[in-house]
Structure formats: C-alpha cells, structure tokens
A and B are shown apart, each in its own frame.
Chain A
C-alpha cells in the first residue's frame, strides 16, 4: 500500500509573529521556518505503518515555494521514500491545495493520505476534509489512533467530550491530532541519505489546477492588547480583588 503525506512549510511554532505595520500581513521575512507540527505527526505515522509492513511506500508532497524542498527533505530524513514538490509562488489557500493534492492522488493512486489536522499559520483545518470531498473518499479527522486491516482503516478520533472509533473504506484521508504519536528526530546519517532520495518538481499548470485565491485578505491586524495586570501579594488580596474589584466571584 502506498501512503501520501502532505507536508507544509510554516513559521516555526516557537516564533511569535509580528503583524506588519501596513496591515498587509505578518512579517515572515528572516524568521525560522519548519515543518508544520501536525504534518510531522503524519510523516511519523506513515513511516510507522511502513515499518509495520502495512505500507510499502511513503511519498511526501508539499505545495508552495521552492524552499519547501527543505521540508520534503526533512520528511525524507524521517523515512519518507521520495518527495513531490508542487512549486508555485502564488498564495495557496486550502481549496487550491486540496485540488493540487487530488491531482497528485490521481497520478500516484495512494490507498491512504495522512494530513495534519491544521497548519499553525492559517489555522484553517480544511485541507484534508476538502481533499476527501474532491476524491469522493471517506475522511477520519483528528485521529489519535490508526490501524489498517482488510481494506479498511479503523481510526480513533478526538471529538467534543471524548473519543469515537470509525471504520472507513480505503482509499481514505486521515488527519492527525497531537496525540497520534511522537515524531522521531532525524539522525545525521538519515539527513545525509535523504539528500539522495528522489524529489520530483511539478507546476500547478502541469496538474491542470487553477490555484487562484478565493478569499481576499483585506487587512491583518494585531489582536486587542490586554490591559496590564497587577501582581498580588497573597491569597487574601487576590480574593479581595476578585470579589470587590473584578466582581467575578
């Protein structure tokens, strides 16, 4: 079975981004970029399925700037067999990415696609669901456990108030939640080996996909700042403030 793992290059999760003064976006020039944390979990899960001899090949895919090659190399250093970069300078929104991934799926015919549940930059949480819809496949989002048997995937999902287990027919799209696994670190020998793995580059036009954005961003602004708080010396003072000043208890 072949597994496709979409990965996204995003601002590192430890970076506190700043909004540009002209309100056109956030300033991501010269900040550290890395693989979206949820996608790392997706790569890890795919590699584990390969190690368990459930999968035969793991293909990492990324859509975006040429620099996304680094993200694909990182996925290959974790154990993906090869990479596909859909290279474009255009702003890609989730629907466009889902369409690009659908075109890649048509070509590669994977049995399973493992997406991260959301990217930590646009916080959209859409791409996996959209890909499933376009392909006409079932979806199992927010997965915390995945097992494959008899042409079906059994997926435990995190829902409001607990967990549920779904059985979905393959091919299917799974999106990862944080607790699915703990991604491995790439070792230096594996990072070196990853440089020799095949990386194919295609353009959206080669796939016949129109990636024009559907949503126009009018402005990006700072959220309202909270008023500076005050430190209290002890519990008595805290209770007094909550009762008599803030009046919340």
Chain B
C-alpha cells in the first residue's frame, strides 16, 4: 500500500520539515505520495516532484485551502485516505493541528512525534517530556502519524515524480483566517540550524539577551533559541522557545547561556550532538547533560567567547 505525506508549505515554497517526513516515510517501505493542498501552490507541487523517493505528487489547488485550515484539509485527506496504509505529517504546529483531526475522521488512533520506525506498524515515541521512550504497535487499517523531524534524515533531491491534480472537497466554512504575523529573521531557522545559541533567565533583560547572544550567534552562523523563562520574561518572541512545549531541536552544537536546564527545556534539546553550558550556578541541572560546562559570569564569558571565535 502507498504512503501519503502531507506537505507543509506557504503556497510559495516547501517547508524543510516535509523532507524529513519523506525521509521517515521511506523507512516504511511502500510508494510515497506527497499531497500539496493550497491556493496558487503550483510551484510547491513542482518542488515536491524533485524530492528523492517520491513517486507521485497530488496537488489540490482551491481558494479554500489558502490558509490550510485544519477543518478543510482534514476533510480532503479523509476523502483520499482509502488508497493509503499510512498518512504522515511533520510534528510541527501545522502537522499537530491537522493530523489528529484526520485520524478522528477515519476513526483511528494517531501516533504522535515518532522518533523511530521499528516496523510498518511499530514506532518509538517519547513520553513524559522525553524521559521515557514508548514502543507502540498500531492495529488500525490506516496509520496516521506525526514525525519528529530532527529524528529523521531529510530526503535529498533527484526525484522525478508525476503531478496529479486532485479535486477539492467542499468548503466547510467553519473557520476563517483573519491575519498572520510572521517574525522576520535573517538567521537560520531554529529547527534546521546547525548551531544554536540559547539564552535563559540568567540574561536578565531583553537588551542583554540580544546584546550578548546576537554577536555570538552572528560569529557562529547560529540560530537563537530561548528557555520558557526568557520568553515569559519578554526577552524574545515565543517562537524562540526550545522545549517540550516549544520547538524540539537537535543541532550539531547547542550553547545554553544562563539556562538552568528544567526537564521541560531538556526535552527540546538533549539530542543535540554537543551541548555547551555557561552558567554561574555549578549545581544547575544543565551541567548534567552538557558535554562542556563552564561555570562563570555569562556577562564576562559570552563576550570573551565571541571574541575568541575567529
């Protein structure tokens, strides 16, 4: 049976998370199809045909998919589900919003944020903020799954899939998008960055947060992340938040500055390859997961570190 991957996009370009989801789909064994639902999303469909390992791209172009509201897209996916053994979406805010709705419409369980595929019906997923890993087996006819993107390699380029246009489902008219405000950033996206510099409450103010972390991030070509404490204190916008309830990241290098290391924060970053912690409290829990720890005053250490990286 074939596998359907629901593409994440903004009607202009495909989001990187889709590539990791195709990477996970490839491990299931079966023909991989990608669904692009949107309005004026032809270019996205075109981009999806080039993903290695994709056999077919289904494009559903209709005005009521412009905002990709969960209600309408789930209805569309429900209609397509008959031919598929698995339906996958990335475990991003968009995927988490839609996939459970699809599952309930199909009367099947949804398997959230898988980090490994053991068999086509058996998956590993973290529970209790990543403090335990559960291996679960699904007996449902269609497996609806969200994929933790940092746990799977992104599919490469080189595909040559065919595009097939699929008819739209009726507009349910339950929900309308009023506005969307995206934070503009010159930095790499948090989820895809190779290096992340993250700040916590220890930075003390928004001025310090930006003033100290940005020069260091610039030198390293890094994205900036934050603990919940830093976000709640208003040092930075909430989409910087790394943790159980924010973004889950796994960069090559994660530098935690003034972050104590609460369970909820560790759940979002403990799969990073190398973790560096800079904190004045030698007992901070962050040092238990850090590969390199430096006890010191971050107001002194961070500028020194910025200067030392040539």
Binding site for B on A (CB under 8 A): 11, 13-14, 16-17, 19, 26, 93-95, 98, 117-118, 120-134, 137-142, 144, 154, 157-169, 172, 177-179, 214-223, 226-227, 229-236, 238-239, 241-242, 246, 248-249
Contact = CB atoms under 8 A, between A and B. Distances in A.
B278 to A, nearest CB: 8
B94 A232 contact: no
Contacts of B291: 226-227, 229-230, 246
Given A94-B100, A161-B239, A229-B289, A238 B132 contact: no
Contacts of B102: 133
Contact of B137 (A124, A169, A218, A221): A218
Given A141-B93, A164-B67, A165-B178, 14 more contacts: A17-B131, A17-B132, A94-B100, A118-B245, A128-B100, A133-B74, A159-B180, A166-B178, A215-B109, A226-B291, A238-B276, A242-B253, A248-B274, A249-B195
Contact of B100 (A130, A172, A236): A130
A21 B274 CA distance: 29
30 contacts: A26-B128, A120-B244, A128-B100, A129-B99, A129-B101, A130-B101, A130-B103, A133-B101, A134-B104, A140-B175, A159-B94, A162-B183, A166-B69, A166-B175, A177-B245, A178-B245, A214-B139, A216-B139, A217-B135, A220-B133, A220-B134, A223-B133, A226-B275, A229-B292, A231-B292, A234-B296, A238-B294, A248-B253, A248-B274, A249-B309
Contacts of A159: 93-94, 180
For chain B, which range describes its interface: under 10, 10 to 19, 20 to 34, or 35 or more residues?
35 or more
Contact of B132 (A118, A164, A177, A221): A221
B132 to A, nearest CB: 5
A139 B167 CA distance: 24
Given A121-B127, A232-B292, A242-B253, A219 B135 contact: yes
B112 A123 contact: yes
A162 B136 contact: no
Contact of A236 (B103, B231, B308): B308
Interface majority SS (helix, strand, loop, mixed), chain B: mixed
B103 A235 contact: no
A25 to B, nearest CB: 8
Interface of B: 15, 67, 69-71, 74, 92-94, 96-105, 107-113, 122, 126-140, 173-183, 189, 191, 195, 220, 228, 231-232, 237-239, 244-245, 252-253, 263-264, 270, 273-276, 287, 289-296, 301, 304-305, 308-309
